[in-house]
Amino acid sequence: MLEKAQDRLRKLDGRKVAREEYLVDHRLEDEELCVTLLFYAVMTRKHGKAAARPFLDQAGSGYFTDALALVMDGFDIPFVRKWLKKCKDAMLVAMERKYALSIALCEAIRARLPYEDMELLAKSHL
């Protein structure tokens, strides 16, 4: 995996690399995700933290890019970890609300409630 990451870094020198080469996404296979994360680690070790800045707006995962931006801006690791935990907790709460809304709407459809009632239900969750 480290060799693949280093190969990606060599391709990067002076050339435009396909977005798939540096995309961090939850849909990636485990090995591919590890190679991509190693690519970022090798790149920042070799060229410094600022070398990852061009990838921030298109690297994929907002969670990853936010954390990388904090590290590049010089925040210490305990702060970044604490911030990521709060961010994760907020995302999980939002996801729980969306699941609750989905379940409520599915039950409303099964009960054949009028559209207006379902719209009110959705608005009350939002």
Instruction: Read off the pTM.
Output: 0.68
Stretch 46-74: mean pLDDT, rounded?
A: 85
- Residue 90's pLDDT band, with cuts at 50, 70 and 90, is very high
Q: Among candidates 72, 6, 80, 70, which has minimal Cα distance to 38? A: 6
Determine the Cα–Cα distance for residues 19 and 113; give it in Å rounded to an integer.
Answer: 46
Q: CA separation (Å) from 30 to 33, 37, 38, 49, 76?
A: 5, 11, 12, 24, 27
Q: How far apart are CA 31 and CA 51, in angstroms?
A: 23
- Name the band, by pLDDT with cuts 50, 70 and 90, for residue 5: confident
Mean pLDDT of all residues in 29-36:
89
Q: What is the pLDDT confidence band of residue 87, given thresholds at 50, 70 and 90?
A: very high
DSSP 71-82: HHTT--HHHHHH
